[in-house]
Structure 1
């Protein structure tokens, strides 16, 4: 019965031993191999075991281990042993069916754990996840189940679920390199780069020869804008595995981040020699040519990347396109936009399509096609009334029109109600008011922005506008004075 406090019969313990060994291995007993188990204790070990201090420490360690392992009744031990007999006969399905037929809400979490393990063996990962979740629901401190669940969810690619399980395993004392390294991977997948770095460093300390954890640490350095530290790690990795394309690709990214496009280009030449011309290498070359001030060549490389990819991911091309538009590179931006527009036929999501339409509108403005740009932006806003960037662009468009002040303020006010772009909308609105000589309302907007987020540039602008307003208020008005 679950929760039974009386000591387990030695015969039952002996019967349970093969189950424990198969599920957890001889290392669960602190031994390196089964041959060491068979050798038995030496006379020195026996004398140590008889000392009261050792016996006390042994009892404490057992209690500590018991706190993270569920209790198992004698009946459940028999059940697990019967399942082992079926496993020995290579009848995994039969073992699972037997255990499933006896699983109870008030049964031991060890049964659910064993079912989850067997389902993992059969690659039935969703069912395995459900069984392991049942195990930790019954016994929340079941460390081994949390570890297994974290590993399983990582295999399934569910980063959030893996992170939750691995954090619990770590909290309960799991301190092996695999658990901690996977925790680094999960934090990286959630863009928690400081936590990822910490986990990867611990994992490397425990497994200094692991290339995966070192590569993860290098990526964490790059994402935290510390590419020079990443280059030190990547030099070591490439020396160990010069044929690894992923090491060369990340080194190219790090060289780009430190402003060394020539070295990045050399890295990519080696990368393409290893794995051939790929969408990844072409898009990275596009980024390099952007850094080198060659926008047309950059656009051409990103076009090649889109055509090479079996399942094109436009994310990197959108980043390049935005940079081209920001730099006023109308011809190169137009080339890339045309290809992205063709790609839309094979499936953009609504967010990507809205991004493309906003960028098309900005290029239209740069070409002097103001009315066309406004029409595109109004279409974007009709489809997504909360598209703050499009609302601001509409405000700026109408602000350039001689009679567009009222419409411009309408769009800026709408954008200011959206949290993500609130301050940007108020700053653009203030710029427009200043250009029209309406200093008092501009000052009010600038003060609102400064209260929410202090910025030196906004403070300098606010001081300057307040000075203009004071000077103007001291000047006599036209036609003023006594008659």
Structure 2
């Protein structure tokens, strides 16, 4: 009885290598379209590019129509030292502090001025205390809330920053930057709905600032709202047509929306404008391959700077292997036939793997064994070739060579577990029950499994009969 029928007759749940991994590292993560979009836009999209010192320095200016006044004495001192603020802030600070010793409370406006001076000297805790005192005395002190928000923003205390910026907005601040700071702070706290609304307000206040578009896009991508994202991405491209990442973002979005021809069209536009990045040209080639336009794909790959011929062949090989995995064997064979044979091993090896995988899928075990053997001639310890070679021999009915191949695979950590299972399968076919149990115990020690232990018990029962 052959190994394969006995395997099913006893319901032995063993792994096989009927389909090998599509790369030399089968654990290599493959990004989904969703992950690709998030990677392109970045998790800090919409983070305002602000200078907190500039914002706080601007708050030196009075807004007498809706903010508290200093006392006459405070204002006289402020006028005297205001010229020193930029040239000698330390001395100006000393002048302001001379007023702290009297019994009269300082005004909210004076608290703000003193807080600004502390901030300029990097006495941040003292500055925050003064700003807090100012808004406590005068809760509608808009500039005080903005400055409090900036300190918390710098410290990444997102909830406190969001509360301060929200207070400023409620008091009438309609500056796009304040809305943007509020939006990003809310986004960092996890309040994506509030962040979305604030980003929209920032876009309304300053529609040409791509910060806010990027922030809103990142929120949409997190939630998979790709259809709503398209108009925003188009606006990014319109505002900054010279940025290669915008074209890449647009095409990636169209791919996620299952519109590959439109994605290729956008990348061709970027190519004509000279703004297509190497990654964009690679994606363009991939799209053409998926559309069955192999000559166009080769031309796109050929436009990539560097060793484009090798890169193009590598991408085509990867695509052919994915077609094998998906069962599109005719298309895979057609693509493989169009890829020039290269002598360099970095391309020869994946081509051999592709040929082997196609042969396995078609049941051509002789061709599969020959391809794996060719790889092993160059890389005797390649785990996937060792396992594939053994599996091909087993399917060809050559149990002795199959066992020899799997014994070799036992010596390679990446292949050891699966080789144990295959050797157990071969032993079971010959009713060598102790050998089968030995291999299964070794497999269970490497990767504990209740299913394997259950099969060990079944084999022991068979041996006792």
Task: Give me the TM-score of the superposition, normalised by structure 2.
Answer: 0.47
Kindly name which structure, 1 or 2, has the bigger radius of gyration based on alpha carbons: 2
Instruction: Specify which structure has the higher proportion of helix.
Output: 1
Task: Give me the TM-score of the superposition, normalised by structure 1.
Answer: 0.45
Larger RCO of the pair (alpha carbons < 8 Å, separation 6+): 2
